[in-house]
Amino acid sequence: MRLSKTVDEEGSRREKEKSKHDEKREERRKQRETPSSLSVSKSKSSVDEYAKLREKSWKRPIDPADAK
């Protein structure tokens, strides 16, 4: 009888440890996601800025033959 109770206690202890471990892992995942989402928006805006810069700066160079 005592042996089965010990096994049950062991199982419940492991369940608690597992749930704590899962909670910590979930917290770490959320922390990792937050900065990455910020960096994604930053990189996205820098790509947009680059595209705009390319659109603005690209003009047909002045051909010396046209100037004459």
Q: For residue 28, tell me if it sits in a domain.
A: yes
In a domain, 12, yes or no: yes
Number of domains the chain contains: 1
In a domain, 55, yes or no: no
The answer as to whether 19 is a domain residue is yes
- Enter the tokens of residue 59: 């003009």
Residue 46: inside a domain: no
Does residue 43 lie in a domain region? no
- The pair of structure tokens assigned to 44 is 């996205």
Count Cα neighbours of 42 within 13 Å in the Cβ-side half-sphere: 6
Query: Which amino acid would we find at residue 26?
Result: E
Reported as a single tens digit per residue, the pLDDT across 16-60 is 888 988 999 999 888 887 655 555 555 556 767 777 666 665 667
66 three-state secondary structure: helix
The whole-number pLDDT of residue 42 equals: 55
In a domain, 52, yes or no: no
Q: Which domain holds residue 28?
A: 8-33
Residue 49 host element (H or E): helix 2-57
Amino acid at 32: R
* 2-11 mean pLDDT: 73
Residue 49 lies in a domain: no
Structure tokens at 67: 């100037």
